Amino acid sequence: MTTARSLTTLSGVISAVVVAALGFYGGWQRRWMSDDGLIVLRTVRNLLAGNGPVFNAGERVETNTSTLWQYIIYIGALISGSRLETIALWAALVFTTVALFIAAVATAKLYQGNNRLLLLPFGGILYISLPPARDFATSGLEWGLSLLWIATWWFLMVQWVEDARLRWGIKYSYLLAFCSGLSWLVRPELALYGGLSGLMLLIMDRKNWWKILLAAIPVPLAYQVFRMGYYGLLVPHTAVAKSASGSQWGDGWFYLMDFVTPYHLWLGVLIAAAAAGLRVWNATREASISVNRRTVVIGLTCGAALIHFLYVLRVGGDFMHGRMLLLPLFTLLLPVSVVVIDRQRIPTTVAAAGLFIAGMGWSFATVLGGHPYQLPEGDEAPLRIVDERIFWQLATYRDQPTRYAEDFLTARNMNNFVPMLEQGRAAHDAQLFQIRLSQHPLVLSWEPRPRTTEHTDLADMPLSLTMINLGMTSMNAPLDVRVLDNMGLANPLAGRQPRVVNGRVGHDKNLPLEWQVADSAVPLDAVPSWVDKAYVKRAREILYTPEYQKLFASYRSPLTFKRFLANIKFSLGAGRTLQFQEDPAAYQGPLPVVDPLPINWPRDIKLDPVR
């Protein structure tokens, strides 16, 4: 006969299975690939080819925010030999599914000692009902991995509440310490979560402090030393390009309203808060030896999520609808991943059942309502926040969302990209420029320009091109083509520009075309007519000044042990603070004209392996 306690456990497992199944179905139904997701895959291609963890061979630039995500795709490619887009899609979707399952199981374990409870799926269903939550269950980005880390972190903290041990005697607290240390390598802002849980462990288990540090520190410390020596930075280069040093609360509030309004999300949050409040009220009437630890864990989880939420608002949000608010929202819902029906307390049972029905009603309405989106009218209409999945489907004139790199070739700004790129490679040209064939209607194309015949270090620069949409260009180009962007994700010159006042969040840096041409093998007499030659000439001279030379050496010069040590020093000094001005007139004084130090070094570029 099934006991009451086993029924509680069984209902928790069933709840986890239900929410995981719904999450998998919802994510699969909306599967797609984003342009930003393709950026990750370019680095994986270079890893597979043997060029190292770089975006452009010969330039040590870390363009991916999540360190672990790129290596997970890399390992998947080594094992399966499948297309990178397919590996990224399946990994993200499976991670999201497992995260929803673990979150529900972990929350159910908080109630496993009570033999009269029935558990129903709740918080995970509220989360996955949101269109952006299902969109970013794939997309090629690390959101699935981030959810999995958060869910695992939550599960380990619940095990710590009970002071649980693995079968071979290792305490879960040490696994929690290890997980906390990995947070920085999943996404930098998750260090907030890992830091708080690590601090909690050190305070609550002071006598074993050295074991906790031994579990938490070695892996992230080893990678941090590697990052400083290899890339010359303390943080991923994306953090330099998207510097969060200023406050943009107004933009953050606008971003929040863009997320909340279409789904009446405030109502879903109120229902979840009421469910949490009901559970807290019931908990005050229950005696438990672990109630203090449980309170600490739940408080820490919600506190970390709220701080994360405020951080997103402070930096101005994002340019993708809902994306940056998904992780703190998922975390806030963890304590109510399941809703509790206490079969021996009729009033609270009725209240809990009512909240469950209300939550499922809101979720159902949210799924049905979706998120209607249209492209802004007019070619010059500003883009602020977009529904990225629908945006790229419309911008590529497709009946289905983009899923592979070649799907983006039908976008207007990719017109003639592949044939003109191949023409430029065949002629050993220097730069591929985007050109405008007509204004009304707007028709774009590409045009290669020849390479300098002068014996300078820039003459060995690979065929280069620049476009803000870094993923679609880089994944449709061979690895011997240098692909850059004007806002700095792959271009340190652009990443160290001052922020554009009132610029689009996440796209508020811009390197003028003249600087891009200056840092290429294009001779002055081949500069296009719409580019200021005098500006290019002056900019090219400025590139050889000491502060620029130090930057170029940090990520372009051959990696020797001496360079590795120099990069560590650079990362602690100028690597943190160096900024440039876009106006050449801002650089005064004599410039070197005789035997200047190089800013470009020969590179051995390996192409994609034949698979």
10 Å CB burial of residue 555 (0-12, 13-18, 19+) is: buried
Distance, in Å, from the CA atom of 500 to the CA atom of 491, rounded to the nearest integer, reads 16
The answer on pLDDT for 437 being more than 60 is yes
Residue 1 pLDDT grade (very low, low, confident, very high; cuts 50, 70, 90) = very low
pLDDT band at 113 (very low <50, low <70, confident <90, very high): low
- CA pair distance 154, 158, nearest whole angstrom: 6
Which of 243-252, 345-354, 401-410, 456-465 shows the lowest mean pLDDT across its residues?
Answer: 243-252
Q: Can you read off the two tokens belonging to residue 503?
A: 């610029």
d(CA 90, CA 94): 6
Residue 211, classified by CB atoms within 10 Å of its CB into exposed (0-12), middle (13-18) or buried (19+), is middle
Convert the pLDDT of each residue in 142-179 to its tens digit: 999 999 999 999 999 999 988 777 776 688 899 999 99
Give the pLDDT of residue 583: 79
The separation between CA 14 and the C-alpha centre of its own chain, rounded to angstroms, equals 32
Q: What is the pLDDT of residue 285?
A: 59
Tokens in use for 387? 């529904």
Q: Which helix (DSSP H) or strand (DSSP E) does residue 549 occupy? A: helix 546-556
> Where does the pLDDT of residue 16 fall: very low under 50, low under 70, confident under 90, or very high at 90 and above?
very high
At 284, the pLDDT band (50, 70, 90 cuts) reads low
For residue 502, pLDDT over 80 is answered with: no
The partner residues of 432 in beta bridges, in order of sequence, read 448, 465
Which of 16-20, 278-282, 578-582, 592-596 is predicted with the least confidence, judged by mean pLDDT? 592-596
Contact predicate 33/89, CB 8 Å: yes
Tokens of 333: 């819902």
| pLDDT > 90 fraction of the chain, expressed in percent and rounded | 71
Q: Is the pLDDT of residue 115 over 70?
A: no
Name the average pLDDT for the chain.
Answer: 90
Q: Which pLDDT does position 30 carry in this prediction?
A: 95
pLDDT per residue as tens digits for the range 310-340: 999 998 999 899 999 999 999 999 999 999 8
pLDDT category of residue 223 using cuts at 50, 70 and 90: very high
Nearest to 355 by CA among 289, 273, 432, 299: 273
pLDDT digits (tens, 9 = 90+) for 559-598: 999 999 999 999 999 888 888 887 777 776 666 555 678 9
Q: How far is it, in rounded angstroms, from Cα 274 to Cα 260?
A: 18
| HSE-CB for 531 with a 13 A CA cutoff | 23
**Percent of the chain at pLDDT exceeding 70:** 93
Q: What is the model's pTM?
A: 0.94
**571: Cβ contacts below 8 Å, ≥ 6 apart:** 227, 228, 231, 232, 233, 234
For 395, residues 6+ apart whose C-beta sits below 8 A from its C-beta are 375, 411, 412
Contact 317, 256 (CB under 8 A): yes
Ranking 376-380, 477-481, 557-561 by mean pLDDT, the lowest is 376-380
